[in-house]
Amino acid sequence: MSDKTPACSFCGQVQTPQIPLIAGMNGHICEACVRLAHQVISTWSRKRSMSEPLKDSPKPLAIKAILDRYVIGQDLAKETLSVAVYNHFKRLRLETDQPRICTHPDKSVVELDKSNILLLGPSGTGKTLLASTLARIVGVPFVIADATTLTQAGYVGEDVESIIARLLDSADGNKELAEWGVVYIDEIDKLARSGENSHGTRDVGGEGVQQALLKLVEGTPVKVPAKGRKDQAPVIVDTRNILFIVGGAFAGLEKLLEKRMKPGAKGIGFHATHANPTEAEKLADKLRLFNEVQPEDLRHFGLIPEFIGRFPVITALHDLDEEALVSILTEPQNALTKQYRQLFALDNVELDFTDDALRAIAQKAIAHGTGARGLRGVLEGILRKLMFTLPSEENVSRCVVTGEVVRGEGEIALEYRESAAPAMTATEASYAQGA
């Protein structure tokens, strides 16, 4: 029997009471090398999973060009998201070629960390539309979650871990692919606590959820229950490389910004500042207001500092003016006017909107304060009666919506086909048969 002390066959680590070795038929291996081998093998399966998404990874200009087809304006937000997704693919490519391992021998290898994004802006400016459109572009699993349904662990509702479970479902159960996904959490402003001094109170759907999201966003192994048999082991998903994008309207944040940026007129006499800006200046200030958001403003709003620190990139979406809303009605690939024209075309009827009508619709949506989301409601209110009666009319060829119709000062003009005689109603037909 040999008295030689066993050593690791990979790194040469000698066995000690503190460092045991696993013995094999012809050698030994230490714990550090087992962990390293596990990470290397994991990269092999990940590389196989990512072969297709990495093959045609989109460039920032290509991503923005696709976003431009569906979203009008908001160039800053689109550029930020395009760069974030492209950098996500670059990190993915680097990790597959040079996996992040605990004992990397090459000190020149630089590890790339992710930059999560916070989108903020008024309701109806396109935050959710940007996210849903982005989901069509990226080649990795993409999930859109709602923060209002999340609750602190142990309470009725969805836990934050359910987001990762949905991401795993989006990847068809492929754990390696899910660990490179993108998650968008909407309505994140609803998690803001009611006040800065609300410590010590149980906030099931607010600060408690923020605390639960901290590790998830930063990166932690999440245990996802396996679907199917109960005796199956849960799947462990590492969120370290998942890109998180959150968005919210942050209603009331503009008041905090105005208070910080315009504390009031200072000075007297010739040194006094003007306190009565023009309407154009007010509009310009409102459009630029969210661009001046600082982490301190979000803390005053009700987000905890630890949560804010996980989102280094803050991008603002501004209110949409009349010109932008008119463009939204007509220019995108799935513009509302194109959708309603298609609905009417299924009844062999042409639907037209005058320029005055489009501007009146935009003005009405602005008056409602719902942004682009309110355009469909305005159009439904205008066309509802016509869509109710039109299927019974067989000789209508064209409908024209004017500005007077939108303002409630007139009726939709109908044009009839000359070759077709007006169809008789059921009452007229019965009278004709009786005669």
Q: Is 102 annotated as a binding residue?
A: no
CA nearest neighbour of 237 among 225, 217, 213, 221: 221
Angle among Cα 296, 184, 318 to the nearest 5 degrees reads 55
* Token reading at 353: 């909107």
Question: Looking at the chain, how many residues does it have?
Answer: 435
CA nearest neighbour of 118 among 300, 370, 294: 294
Q: Is 8 annotated as a binding residue?
A: yes
Burial class (CB in 10 A: 0-12, 13-18, 19+), 362: buried
CA nearest neighbour of 311 among 298, 323, 300: 298
Query: What span, in angstroms and rounded, lies between the C-alpha atoms of 6 and 342?
Result: 77
What is the sign of the dihedral through the CA atoms of 117, 56, 167 and 248? Answer: positive
Query: What span, in angstroms and rounded, lies between the C-alpha atoms of 208 and 36?
Result: 36
CB-based contact 179:171 (threshold 8 Å): no
Q: Is 11 annotated as a binding residue?
A: yes
3-class secondary structure, 186: strand
CB-based contact 63:86 (threshold 8 Å): yes
CA nearest neighbour of 254 among 277, 213, 219, 286: 286
CA nearest neighbour of 166 among 150, 186, 144: 144
* Token reading at 61: 């200009």
Angle among Cα 395, 397, 399 to the nearest 5 degrees reads 120
Instruction: Label the pairing between strands 413-416 and 235-238.
Output: unpaired
**184 strand-pairing partners:** 144, 245
Tokens 């871990």 correspond to 161
Q: Which residues sit in the known binding site? A: 8, 11, 30, 33
Q: Which residues sit in the known binding site for Zn(2+)? A: 8, 11, 30, 33
